[in-house]
Structure 1
Amino acid sequence: MHILVMGAGVVGVTTAWYLRKAGYEVTVVDRQSRAALETSYANGGQISVCHAEPWANPKAPLKVLKWLGQADAPLLFRPRLDPGQWRWAMAFLAQCTSARAAHNLRQMVNLGTFSRACLQALRDETGIEYDCLTRGILHFYTDPAEFESALEPARQMRELGCDRQVVDVDRAIELEPALAPARDRLAGATYTAEDESGDARKFTQALALMAEAAGVRFRFDTEILGFDKARDRVLGVRTLRHGHHETLRADSYVLSLGSFSGPLARQLGLHLNIYPAKGYSITVPVKNEEAAYQVSLTDDEYKLVYSRLGDRIRVAGTAELNGYTRTLNMTRCRAIVRRCAELMPEAAYWDQAEFWTGLRPATPSNVPYIGRSHFGNLFLNTGHGTLGWTHSCGSAAALAAIVAGGRPEVDFNFTGL
């Protein structure tokens, strides 16, 4: 059986890997010249089961309203004459109830825990290297109200098997001494020892090479234009490569094109409620080893995540709902640098920050689409938002089980099941 995977980001490449392990013939198609050159290129680097609280929660609407006029707000909504944006926003508001938030948190924790275990097994099996650190993730808070509001989600996560422990300021600095300069500003923290960090681009590109050695074919520099279909089956994918049109055919297909999955799926009459949440990151050389963190950090108040990638520091976050533009907003870039320099001034050469932005494929609930579509031979693995790296291995392993006609080993509401 031949399966064509659309997309060579971290989700598409892991999907190809697990499908090949299951014995399928696999081809991956992507418009870039190699794997992980779009949203997986410079993300926050965290494998963060503890980052499962959905954006859509009872406190979100008031926060979004408060941030509307702030160019450097953690979540920035820029209204456009775009029906897709407004459809997404209305669905987001519908998810902001306590019941929906609790349901979605359960989904995210279950998938995240399973996915982290899959990644660890893959790492043990292959020896893949990607600047991995297994020192946990520490959420820190400089606003007492934000810290207080984190206690209930942390309790819910513990009940679901994610051991996110509440710690005081002294324990937070014991876990990560790099936070010592900010001691007087800290209100509290939570710590998840089992979580990890690593370079998603290094991982994806290394896994793509391993997959290719195992027999997966990659067709790069190939733009996907649309589909040939008949009734409830996809017959082929229409592509453009180096000026030549070609229809690629397979027995089954997997859509893993991130934020671009929605527009393409609409050609088939599939309405995936995915909208790009533009995120930013900075990558900075370490300045002082003793002042630079080793534990991955999350600054919940500013919606930033910090990862140590060898001799580099990566800080990523914020979300801008502003269409498909990838233009850097320097106000938002400078806000990240300013926050980092205030908290850990000697950790890095903050004035040498390399800026990047990418389009994270967000669903209103934060829960991705994984499973079979109503086309019998089209499968979905997309819409992972800010957690594509965290959920990639588990999503791919689960999808491989679904393609084989089985049920995955994780309690999750899979599409088409």
Structure 2
Amino acid sequence: MRIAVIGAGIIGMTTAYFLRREGYAVTVIDRQSEPGIETSKANGAQLSYSFVAPLADPGVLPKLPSWLTDRDAPLHFRLRADPQQWRWGLSFLRACQRATARRVTMELLELGISSRELLRKMVADEGFDFDFSPSGKLLVYEDDATYAKARAQMAFQDGSGGEHSVLTTQACLDMEPTLAQSGRGIVGGIFLPEEDAGDCLKLCAQLHRKLAHPASGVDFHFDTEVRGLKLEGGRVAALDTSAGSLQADGYVIANGLGAQRLSTQAGFNPLIYPLKGYSLTYQLTPESQAPRLSVSDIRTKVVYARLGDRLRVAGMVDIGDGDAGIRSRRIELLKTQVHDFLPQLAPAAEPEPWAGLRPARPDSTPLIGATPYTNLWINAGHGSLGFTLAAGSAGLLRDRIARRPTAIREGKFALH
């Protein structure tokens, strides 16, 4: 059986890997010239298996006025005359309930723990080199109320596979001495020892190198846009691509934002909408004072991940900006936040800026599994957790395609 995977970002590449390991012949199609160069290219680099609380939460409701008016807010909402945005936004508001947020947190945590196990096994089996670091992640807090809420959230997650330690201010500084640079009022922290970091783009390239071997049973079609699905009698008969018709026995929609258009053609709406984020990549020198651990500055919602001799910094969510172009105001703000947090960073040069569009669903849960068409599946809508959940999502989809019982209940992450 040959399965065509649409998309060669981290979701599509891990899907191809796990399907091939299952014994399927695989074809991967992507509109770009190489894997991983859109949303996967320069993301935050943190693999946050245990820090998966959804964006939709009751606590966001009081913040909506600032999201709409403050262009420098960590999350900025630009209202547009766009029916898709309004449908997404209304669904997002409906998801901002305590019960929904708790349910989604536990579901994402379950998928995150599965992803951690599968990714680490893949790294061990294949020896992939992508600046992978299992050093854990430190969350730092600068106000008592937010810190108390975070401790309560971690207590809620206790027993679900995500270990954590509550740290005093001094313990944070002892664990990551570079935090003493800023002089900001850290009131405490939470350390998650089982979190990882790595370069998502490099992993995509490593997967491609593994799968593109002539004997691998995987074909790649780059510079090929999937324009539509040819539907016949409850099945997909072929893909209509820029290079002509492409046939397989089964098909997986795994092309991020493009999944919205293809799914709509197939008669269902996954409610995937772009959330724009930004990153900076700093080249370091032996004199640079950069964190060794992954660090999340909760006040500014900026994350820091060490990638060998580089530091990846990422932050911000812009809703209603569907252009992947870099906005200088946001990049300059991110640079200022880095300087305030790490004034003695001393990088080798100015950082490399990047912006990407993350394919998000209103309640932060991806869709993984069957569609109304018997030979069409979907693996999309991961938002900012695509890298984190990629291996677990691919493993779950593989099991569902093979009709194998899974540890994750059938209804979870399924299209309803």
Distance of 1:305 and 1:411 partners within structure 2: 32
Structure 1 residues 230 and 323: CA distance shift in structure 2, 3 A: farther
State whether residues 235 and 376 of structure 2, in contact with CA within 8 Å, keep that contact through their aligned partners in structure 1: yes
- Aligned partner of 1:38 in structure 2 is 38
The answer for the alignment partner of 2:414 in structure 1 is 415
Alpha-carbon distance in 2 for matches of 1:169, 1:36? 38
Residues 116-157 of structure 1: CA distance to partner in whole angstroms, max 9, x if unpaired? 110000011011010011110111112333222212211122
Is the 8 Å Cα contact of residues 114 and 410 (structure 1) preserved in structure 2? Answer: no
- Other-structure match for 2:280: 282
Indicate the RMSD between aligned Cα atoms, in angstroms. Answer: 1.5
Distance 2:359 2:143 in 1: 29
Supply the distance in 2 between the matched residues of 1:380 and 1:105 (Cα, whole angstroms).
21
AA at the equivalent of 2:298 = D
In structure 1, how many angstroms separate the alpha carbons of the residues matched to 2:52 and 2:110? 9
Deviation larger for 338-347 or 358-367: 338-347
The separation in 2 between residues aligned to 1:83 and 1:67, in whole angstroms, is: 20
Give the direction of change, closer, same or farther, for the CA distance of 1:4–1:187 in structure 2 (3 Å limit): same
2:92 corresponds in structure 1 to 92
**Residue 385 of structure 1: how far off its partner (Å):** 0.4
Contact 1:157 1:164 in 2 (8 A): no
2:208 alignment partner AA: A
Q: Which residue does 2:366 correspond to in 1? A: 368
Quick one: distance in 1 between partners of 2:8 and 2:229? Answer: 18
Q: Provide the secondary structure at the position in 2 that maps to 1:265.
A: helix
1:191 aligns with: 191
Contact 1:4 1:250 in 2 (8 A): yes
Q: Give the Å deviation of 1:306.
A: 0.8
Equivalent in the alignment of 2:303: 305
Cα pair 2:365 2:413 within 8 Å, conserved? no
Question: What corresponds to 1:66 in structure 2?
Answer: 66
Pick closer, same or farther for the CA change 1:95–1:87 going to 2, 3 Å.
Answer: same
- 1:351 Cα deviation from its structure 2 partner: 6.3
Letter matched to residue 236 of structure 2: V
Equivalent position to 1:355, from 349, 353, 356: 353
CA distance in 2, matches of 1:208, 1:220: 12
Asked if 2 retains the 8 angstrom alpha-carbon contact of 1:287 and 1:346, the reply is: no
C-alpha distance in 2 between matches for 1:321 and 1:350: 33
Separation in structure 1 between the aligned mates of residue 67 and residue 413 of structure 2, nearest angstrom:
34
- 1:14: Cα distance to partner? 0.4
* CA distance, structure 2, for counterparts of residue 262 and residue 416 of structure 1: 13
Give the whole-Å Cα distance in 1 for the aligned partners of 2:185 and 2:368: 41
Residue matched to 1:331: 329
Aligned to 2:368, the other structure's residue is in SS state: strand
AA paired with 1:151? R
1:219 aligns with one of 190, 200, 221: 221
2:270 corresponding residue in structure 1: 272
The alignment status of 1:383 with 2:378, answered yes or no, reads: no
1:6-44 alpha-carbon deviations (Å, 9 max, x no partner): 000000000000000000010000000010010000001
Structure 2 residue matching 1:93: 3-state secondary structure: helix
Match status 1:5 vs 2:5: yes
What does residue range 40-55 of structure 1 map to in structure 2 within 5 Å? 40-55=40-55
Deviation at 1:311, TM superposition (A): 1.1
Q: Report what 1:117 is aligned to.
A: 117
Contact kept in structure 2, 1:288 and 1:347, CA below 8 Å: no
Change (3 A) 1:208 1:74: same
Map of 1:148 onto structure 2: 148
What is the distance in 2 between the residues matched to 1:231 and 1:176?
Answer: 59
Q: Deviations over 1:260-308 (max 9, x none)?
A: 2112211111111110001100011124556211100112222221111
| Structure-2 separation of matches of 1:281 and 1:222 | 28
CA separation of 1:288 and 1:58: change in aligned 2, threshold 3 A: farther
- Does structure 1 conserve the Cα–Cα contact (< 8 Å) formed by 2:288 and 2:346? no
Q: How many aligned positions are there?
A: 413
Give 1:137-176 correspondences, 5 Å limit.
137-176=137-176
Partners of 1:44 and 1:315 within 8 A in 2? yes
Normalising by structure 1, we get a TM-score of: 0.96
- Code of the residue aligned with 1:327 in structure 2: it is G
Mean Cα displacement is larger for which, 42-51 or 20-29? 42-51
Seen in structure 2, the aligned counterparts of structure 1 residues 67 and 287 have a Cα distance that, compared at 3 Å, is farther
% identical aligned pairs: 37
Name the counterpart of 1:340.
338
Q: CA deviation at 1:183?
A: 4.8
Alignment correspondent of 2:239? 237
- SS of the equivalent of 2:356 reads strand
Distance 1:215 1:305 in 2: 38
For the residues of structure 2 that align with 1:184 and 1:300, how far apart are their CA atoms?
A: 13
Structure 1 residue 159: Cα displacement: 3.2
**Tell me, which stretches of 5 or more residues in structure 2 are unaligned?**
none
Distance in 1, Cα, partners of 2:237 & 2:176: 54
- Tell me the secondary structure at the aligned position of residue 179 of structure 1: helix
1:158 CA drift (Å)? 2.1
| 2:204 is the counterpart of 1:228 | no
Q: Deviations 1:145-188 (Å, cap 9, x if unpaired)?
A: 32222122111222322112221111111111111123542121
Structure 1 stretch displaced more, 373-382 or 140-149:
140-149
User: For residue 390 of structure 1, what is the amino acid of its counterpart?
Assistant: T
The 1:348–1:379 alpha-carbon spacing in structure 2 relative to 1, beyond 3 Å, is farther
Secondary structure of 1:59's partner?
Answer: helix
How far off its partner does 1:72 sit? 1.7
CA distance in 1: counterparts of 2:182 and 2:193, whole angstroms: 22
Equivalent residue letter for 2:206: A
